[in-house]
Copies of this chain bind each other. A is one copy, B any other.
Amino acid sequence: MLSYESIDLYREDGFLFADPLTEKETDLLREQADREFLRDSPGRMLEKDGFTVRGVHGSHVVNSTFARLVRHPKIVTPATQLLGGPVYVHQFKINAKKALTGDVWPWHQDYIFWNLGDGMRRPDVVNVAVLLDEATDLNGPLLVLPGSHKCGSLEVARRTTVGGDGAWRSDISADLVYAIDAPLLSELTETTKVTAIKGPPGSILLFDPLLVHASGVNMAPYDRRMILVTYNRVDNPLGEVPSPRPDFLAARDNTPVRPLDPGADLFA
């Protein structure tokens, strides 16, 4: 359980490190992540080069390790605590950020995609990031703007993109449709300083769906893999939208996650 101090810190900064996974658990996740990267599926995204894996979505539905991970007390318990009620998995993804070829995630807030794209009504969401590799300044770490979640949903122009059935693809590409531009980022950095989320494998970071964040390219000779589990409150289900995104991007089944027993891990 998170302490009151930790919760205050989360409310203030919009992010918080929680208790890490063990080395053995992280090894297993890394192994399973690589397996998912190899499996061709609709939820697998490639980089612009057309062959490097950028990430894969929805693995918690098809892979028993990840199915267990979203029920792990170190992951789901702090998320439930921060949201104050039962949660379900809105989105699950593993970002690959491959050595030398892993591309940018431009500066953005998550909520606008879920609000406008999926009909989510309130930002009653927590993202849980699990670092599978050490994150350093060199390998495109997650970058955050502490406190930026307090700005609420920022007005950003929708980038023109190809419409139609596959329009959701640009939501998870290096050309995000709701990216924050340099003038707005410059304004935001007048009162807060970009912080790189660095840490060893197994580190767990909770962050707010309104927190402004990004990541650069990976200039290191090894991959920088990261899992992102997005929990939404069960009483904040998605509304109707004209062209719903695929289920692996926006789950419409809001069955609550049943946490593992306290003290359980990925193995037992």
Contact = CB atoms under 8 A, between A and B. Distances in A.
Interface of A: 99-100, 104, 106-107, 137-138, 140, 143, 181-183, 185-186, 189, 194, 196, 214-217, 219-222
Contacts of A221: 182-183, 185-186, 189
Contact of A100 (B138, B185, B215, B219): B185
A194 B219 contact: yes
A221 B143 CA distance: 13
A53 B163 CA distance: 29
A22 to B, nearest CB: 26
A30 to B, nearest CB: 17
A143 B219 contact: yes
A19 to B, nearest CB: 27
5 contacts: A185-B221, A186-B221, A194-B220, A216-B216, A216-B217
Given A100-B107, A186-B221, A189-B221, 13 more contacts: A99-B185, A100-B181, A100-B182, A104-B219, A138-B143, A138-B194, A182-B222, A183-B221, A186-B222, A194-B219, A194-B220, A216-B216, A217-B217
B196 A137 contact: yes
Contacts of A222: 182, 186
A179 to B, nearest CB: 8
Contacts of A186: 99, 221-222
A189 B215 CA distance: 23
Contacts of A194: 138, 219-220
Closest 7 CB pairs of A and B: A186-B221, A185-B221, A137-B137, A99-B182, A182-B221, A216-B219, A216-B217
Contacts of A217: 104, 216-217
A144 to B, nearest CB: 12
Which has the most chain B C-beta neighbours within 10 Å: A99, A185, A196, A216?
A216
Contacts of A100: 106-107, 181-182, 185
A217 B217 CA distance: 7
A224 B89 CA distance: 40
A100 B183 CA distance: 10
A220 B214 CA distance: 11
A183 B189 CA distance: 37
Nearest to A187: B221
